[in-house]
Chain A
Amino acid sequence: GQQLNQSPQSMFIQEGEDVSMNCTSSSIFNTWLWYKQDPGEGPVLLIALYKAGELTSNGRLTAQFGITRKDSFLNISASIPSDVGIYFCKGGSEKLVFGKGTKLTVNP
């Protein structure tokens, strides 16, 4: 079945640093989406990408839909303590497939 490889699994950074995480797959997807899950809450949609090569920003967050349609990355610039949480990628085609998440810890 379709699988996503999300990396890194976890990150420990200092406040103010930039963060980069990515998802790759052997399968082609029609859409890539990124979610954030705060501790004890459900995931919340951050960015949705619908076109290969698309680069989209949402505040300090930037995500790209890879040209091959098999990957996507998410960057967070100038991290702050409230960026803490788990970030999930999701690929969409006939099915919706989630990555296993990147757990981000930000030290003040």
Chain B
Amino acid sequence: DVKVTQSSRYLVKRTGEKVFLECVQDMDHENMFWYRQDPGLGLRLIYFSYDVKMKEKGDIPEGYSVSREKKERFSLILESASTNQTSMYLCASTSGLDAYEQYFGPGTRLTVT
């Protein structure tokens, strides 16, 4: 079974802090994604990556950056957290062959106070 893990299930940070959200997948998938999920807005794509050291902006990249130094790990960085970044963050991965079938991690619920 594909396993996607995220470093924390719940996180509380203060405004202005630098926040790192880590995602690791164990199936050698090429593609990795970061979404945020908010009530009434569904899943919105922040960034994605099709290869190591490669990144592409999604629909809402502002205020975020990413890092992919190894194939299995994709990090989301909030350079200076703000209260409007309080959300559920979901990481996903897909293989190159079944690129539409995403496997999701359990999510990190981030609260910025």
Contact = CB atoms under 8 A, between A and B. Distances in A.
Contacts of B100: 31, 33, 48, 90, 92, 96
Q: Do most interface residues of chain B lie in helix, strand or loop, or is the interface mixed? A: loop
A1 B105 CA distance: 27
Interface string A40-80: 11111100100000000000000000000000000000000
Contacts, number: 42
Interface of A: 1, 31, 33, 35, 40-45, 48, 88, 90, 92, 96, 98-101
A24 B95 CA distance: 27
Nearest to B90: A42
Q: Do most interface residues of chain A lie in helix, strand or loop, or is the interface mixed? A: strand
A92 B4 CA distance: 21
A35 to B, nearest CB: 8
